[in-house]
Amino acid sequence: MAGLPNESWKAIKTLYDAGARGAFDVVALHPYTGIPKNVIRIVKIVRREMARRRDSKIPVWITELSWPAAQGKTEQHGGFETTEKGQKDRLEEGLPLIADERRKLKIGRVYWYTWLSVEGITDSAFDYSGLRRMRNGQLHDAASLSMFTRLARRLQGCAKQPGHALRCR
């Protein structure tokens, strides 16, 4: 199922009501929220609707997760934008929460939105989501990239292999 944003629990109920049960093998969510623990809350609400429809075994994939570092940089406000430090802090809080709940909630995958963005190309907060960003034609790492890398490696159980900083043993 394509990624369900915003009030995804309402969208999945509407899809079930329209007869979608059996037409998908994964539920993809885009749980945008300013509070990391609310990502888990959103997945739980969707899971309740899935259980009600006897689809408890179907995995959930979080196919877009981000806390854009757009605060003060854009006019678009979704309630989930933050500062550079806030993006890093929310990642540090949010990824372990998701990892802790992944088995219980059958979360099969989590994808950050996005690896690369161009700052200020539009008025969208998402221009500041990238863990790497283009600014004035120059590529730079967001402050949150090293946090994301460390957390992802640790949560996947990767140990640093001598001479290969990005590979797991």
- Residue count of the chain, please give it: 169
Type of residue numbered 39: V
| C-beta separation of 60 from 43 below 8 A | yes
Nearest to 112 by CA among 34, 46, 31: 31
What is the torsional sign of CA 24, 25, 31, 35? positive
Tell me if residue 110 falls in helix, strand or coil.
Answer: strand
Sign of the Cα torsion 124, 129, 130, 134 reads positive
Type of residue at 143: A
**What does the alpha-carbon distance between residue 75 and residue 30 come to, in Å, rounded to a whole number?**
22
Q: What is the pLDDT of residues 9-49, one digit of tens each?
A: 999 999 999 999 999 999 999 999 999 999 999 999 999 99
- Chain-centre distance of CA 38, in angstroms? 12
| pLDDT tens profile 127-167 | 999 999 999 999 999 999 999 999 988 888 776 555 555 56
For 4-155, CATH number out of 3.30.460.80, 3.30.1050.10, 3.20.20.80, 3.40.640.10 equals 3.20.20.80
The domains of the chain are located at 4-155
Orientation of helix 36-52 relative to helix 84-101, angle to 10°: 40
Q: What is the pLDDT of residue 168?
A: 61
